[in-house]
């Protein structure tokens, strides 16, 4: 066994130590701790290891709330105080901006944070029949493994579903097709929860009756999905109405299907939208582009502030949902939505949007490199960039600042996924 002192955390929540000039990434270790560790992967310049014994303990170490922490791969930071998690994520953001883009924000925004338990309103659980472990397992993957964690509860899911994993296991095990249900998707709306079973074979009438009984007992709307996301449908027609979430600050209610992409943390989403609108400052008479707009999460607050918004999204289904949400909230006259593949954006396609005074970009993990490279002389004077990957944000920021003439006015994190290493952030660029 080897011993090391931990200097910092990496972007996956592992402790970083340096031994004889080599970086050692140690799972389960926190900054300031002295640990004994065992390496499971050795390379010339780094090693990956697991802490086997704490010699001295960080004052920021806490007891994990979930009994499956360390086995389940869903969380990696439950052993670190929640406030310290946010600080660590802020450091990851700043390090990414500096090491990738050689940029330091002019201002560090106060971190956005909220509830740390029961926050995950969307989840995709894997299902697998494992006779050696007693039958069906439902949950997240084990750490660094394709196996499903043998978990009986989940503390980051709302308790109404997080404490029903054993019941879900029993439900799938009671069906005629227990080995043909690979996935269960959870979607929690304002007034109900939908449970979607992905099915590779059609459930029998008896199966459907069991699903109905399960939904009635637990207060869930039960859906099945025989193919792609658009094939998902309720077992009973009276469960077909859309789910909704609200943005009270903007007097908005947005409808979505259980398989649509929405932010998993409704509390942080509201605060992130507030911060975005503070930075963007939409005003009547302005024309603002919302790229990767989804079903209108940022578009409709922009319109509610009186600006004309142009939402662009690659999914035709989400664009239709955004337009319907605009209509339902009385904002059709201030919004238009277009279908376009923004990963293939060109100067011509961006110019084709017409006059754009300001822009909000909220891309997936891949970032928005094609968009930022396509910006021309008539580019907007202000860009708010919401990111779920500090690496691609930094890459895109380098283009915006070093090639397009913007300044990085500020950046900060939002703790969208507490207890995980996921870093959500927001940045403001101006020129």
Q: How far apart are CA 323 and CA 325, in angstroms?
A: 5
Cα separation values, 283 from 159, 274, 309, 334, Å: 41, 15, 11, 12
Our CA dihedral for 215, 219, 225, 229, rounded to 10 degrees, sits at: 180
Which of 322, 338, 429, 340 has the alpha carbon at shortest distance from 385? 429
Q: How far apart are CA 113 and CA 76, in angstroms?
A: 18
60 a known binding residue? no
Burial profile 219-231: b = 16 or more Cβ within 10 angstroms, e = fewer: ebbbbbbeeebee
72 a known binding residue? yes
33 a known binding residue? no
Q: Spell out the residues 6+ positions from residue 398 whose beta carbon is closer than 8 angstroms to its own.
A: 100, 101, 102, 103
238 a known binding residue? no
414 forms beta bridges with 112, 424
3-state secondary structure of 319: helix
Q: How far apart are CA 253 and CA 237, in angstroms?
A: 22
Tokens of 421: 């290493």
Checking 9-17 for CB contacts under 8 A at 24+ apart, the result is 9/88, 9/91, 9/92, 10/92, 11/92, 11/96, 11/390, 11/391, 11/421, 11/423, 12/76, 12/421, 13/76, 13/77, 13/80, 13/88, 13/420, 13/421, 14/48, 14/76, 15/51
297 a known binding residue? yes
313 a known binding residue? yes
Count of C-beta atoms within a 10 Å radius of residue 100: 17
3-state secondary structure of 401: helix
Q: How far apart are CA 82 and CA 114, in angstroms?
A: 10
261 a known binding residue? no
- Cite the active site residues: 388
292 a known binding residue? yes
Q: How far apart are CA 313 and CA 306, in angstroms?
A: 21
CA atoms within 13 A on the CB side of 144: 9
- Look-up: residue for tokens 């600050």? 249
Annotated binding-site positions: 66, 72, 75, 154, 263, 292, 297, 313, 341, 362
Annotated binding-site positions for S-adenosyl-L-methionine: 263, 292, 297, 313, 341, 362
Annotated binding-site positions for [4Fe-4S] cluster: 66, 72, 75, 154
């Amino acid at each position: 066994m080897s011993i090391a002192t931990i200097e910092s955390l990496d972007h996956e929540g592992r402790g970083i130590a340096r031994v004889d000039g080599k970086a050692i990434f140690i799972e389960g270790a926190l900054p300031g701790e002295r640990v004994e560790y065992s390496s499971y992967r050795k390379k010339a310049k780094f090693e990956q290891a697991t802490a086997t014994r704490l010699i001295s303990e960080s004052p920021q170490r806490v007891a994990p709330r979930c009994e499956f922490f360390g086995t389940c791969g869903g969380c990696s930071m439950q052993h670190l105080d929640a406030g310290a998690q946010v600080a660590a994520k802020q450091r990851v953001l700043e390090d990414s901006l500096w090491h990738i883009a050689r940029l330091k924000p002019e201002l560090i925004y106060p971190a956005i944070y909220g509830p740390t338990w029961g926050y995950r309103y969307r989840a995709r659980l894997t299902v697998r029949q494992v006779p050696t472990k007693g039958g069906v397992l439902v949950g997240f993957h084990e750490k660094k493994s394709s196996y499903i964690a043998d978990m009986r509860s989940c503390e980051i899911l709302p308790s109404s579903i997080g404490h029903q994993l054993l019941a879900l296991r029993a439900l799938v095990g009671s069906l005629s097709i227990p080995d043909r249900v690979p996935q269960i998707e959870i979607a929690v709306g304002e007034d109900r929860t939908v449970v979607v079973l992905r099915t590779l074979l059609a459930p029998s009438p008896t199966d459907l009756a069991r699903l109905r009984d399960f939904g009635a007992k637990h207060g869930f709307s039960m859906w099945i999905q025989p193919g792609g996301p658009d094939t998902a449908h309720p077992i009973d027609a009276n469960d077909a109405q859309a789910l909704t979430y609200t943005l009270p600050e903007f007097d908005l209610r947005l409808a979505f299907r259980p398989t649509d992409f929405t932010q998993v943390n409704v509390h942080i989403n509201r605060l992130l939208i507030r911060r975005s609108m503070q930075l963007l400052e939409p005003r009547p008479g302005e024309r603002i582009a919302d790229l990767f707009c989804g079903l209108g999460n940022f578009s409709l607050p922009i319109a509610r502030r009186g600006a004309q918004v142009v939402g662009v999204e690659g999914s035709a289904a989400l664009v239709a949902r955004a337009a319907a949400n605009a209509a339902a909230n009385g904002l059709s006259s201030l919004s238009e939505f277009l279908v376009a593949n923004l990963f293939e954006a060109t100067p011509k396609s961006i110019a084709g949007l017409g006059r754009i005074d300001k822009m909000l970009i909220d891309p997936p993990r891949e970032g928005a490199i094609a968009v930022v490279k396509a910006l021309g002389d008539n580019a907007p004077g202000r860009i708010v960039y919401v990111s779920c990957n500090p690496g691609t944000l930094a890459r895109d920021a380098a283009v915006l600042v070093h090639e397009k003439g913007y300044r990085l006015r500020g950046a900060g994190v939002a703790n969208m996924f507490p207890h995980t290493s996921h870093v959500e952030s927001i940045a403001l660029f101006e020129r």
